[in-house]
Amino acid sequence: MKTIRWHKRAKKQLRRIGDLKTRDKIYNAVDSLKAFPNCQNIKKLTNRNDYRLRVGRYRIIFSIDLVIINIEEVKKRDERTY
């Protein structure tokens, strides 16, 4: 089982989301990453060693070490997300 580590920037971005239901959805989706690679809505980003998890209109950018999943960013989807 993998452990999840949140970067300071990702925590700050998550706190800025005003809707508590959306925040809970993001927490639950990130918690499901412990079963990586058996997860849904995940894609490997091109030209980067990162992955993205889609939760509604939000994208969670993360990277994977051997047993640690690093959550790097939580952003709303727009032209500048990636």
Give how many domains the chain has, as a whole number.
1
The predicted structure's pLDDT at residue 81: 60
Strands 68-76 and 3-6, bridge-based pairing: parallel
Structural domain boundaries, residue 56:
3-76
pLDDT tens across 35-45, in order? 877 888 899 99
Is it the case that residue 74 has pLDDT exceeding 60? yes
Is it the case that residue 57 has pLDDT exceeding 70? yes
The predicted structure's pLDDT at residue 72: 92
Rounded distance, CA 27 to CA 78, Å? Answer: 21
If you search the block for the tokens 């989301």, which residue do you land on?
Answer: 17
CATH number of the domain where residue 51 is located: 3.30.2310.20
User: What does the pLDDT average to over 21-50?
Assistant: 89
15 assigned to some structural domain: yes
